[in-house]
Amino acid sequence: GDSVTQMEGPVTLSEEAFLTINCTYTATGYPSLFWYVQYPGEGLQLLLKATKADDKGSNKGFEATYRKETTSFHLEKGSVQVSDSAVYFCALRGMNYGQNFVFGPGTRLSVLP
Amino acid sequence: EAQVTQNPRYLITVTGKKLTVTCSQNMNHEYMSWYRQDPGLGLRQIYYSMNVEVTDKGDVPEGYKVSRKEKRNFPLILESPSPNQTSLYFCASSFAGGRAGEKLFFGSGTQLSVL
């Protein structure tokens, strides 16, 4: 079945550092790919998404590119802020009607001032 | 405003006392799902539903029941709660798929403690 693998956390960075959180997936066809973010004490919210190969999703300075050849969707940000401290989840959903969402285990990011 | 509403936000109960956590969405979504989140274990799916009267088990269905009698509501029922069901619970909804990029909307969560 479909699956998502994320790098193990927690990740601790200093403010203004470069961030990469790796995400790879296993799925048939061309699933839609998502990054969700969960800030402390809140529910998950969509950060960005991509729906086909070579698409780049971007939001709030974060970017991720849908790489079909490497089945990856790595999350990047050039300069993190303390306010980016959160848990980040990579997820996918197959293209066909009635597909379930599949989530990775989440990566906790802490940004220090 | 498009939203998924869960109630209650916090719940403390005792072992064996039946409880229901409600979930409602106002987006006419076919797909609804329940997750539990525990430290170090990520997000685990309990049950999901693709439409009214259609429900399926997720990864950790034991000890839980759901029903989908109406499109907007998807309650989670714990018939006899136990301490290992102490967790943070999220309800989520989406369209059933078939269109690229349909996203999942999450509720604010229910923190359940079973004593």
Predicted confidence (pLDDT) at residue B41 exceeds the cutoff of 90: no
User: pLDDT: is B97 or B25 the higher one?
Assistant: B25
* R_g (Cα) of chain A, nearest Å: 14
Residue bearing the bigger pLDDT, B100 or B36? B36
Amino acid identity at B86: T
Q: Which residues of chain A are at the B interface, by a Cβ-Cβ cutoff of 8 Å?
A: 32, 34, 36, 42-46, 49-52, 89, 91, 93-101, 103-106
Rounded to a whole number of angstroms, the distance from the CA of B14 to the nearest CA of chain A is: 24
Q: How far apart are CA A59 and CA A48, in angstroms?
A: 6
Residue of A51, A101, A103 lying closest to B42 (CB–CB): A103
Taking an 8 Å cut-off on Cβ atoms, the answer to whether B98 and A103 are in contact is: no
pLDDT for B13 equals: 95
At B44-74, the pLDDT tens digits run 999 999 999 999 999 999 999 999 999 999 9
**pLDDT band of A112, cuts 50, 70, 90:** very high
**Cβ contacts of A97 on chain B, cutoff 8 Å:** 96-98
Query: Which member of B90, B96, B107 has the closest CB to residue A97?
Result: B96
User: Are residues B87 and B37 in contact, defined by beta-carbon separation less than 8 angstroms?
Assistant: yes
pLDDT, residue B40, reads 84
In whole angstroms, what is the distance from residue A24 CA to residue B55 CA?
29
Three-state secondary structure of B35-65:
EEEECCCEEEEEEEEEECCEEEECCCCCCCE
Highest averaged pLDDT of the listed ranges A61-75, A94-108, B85-99: A61-75
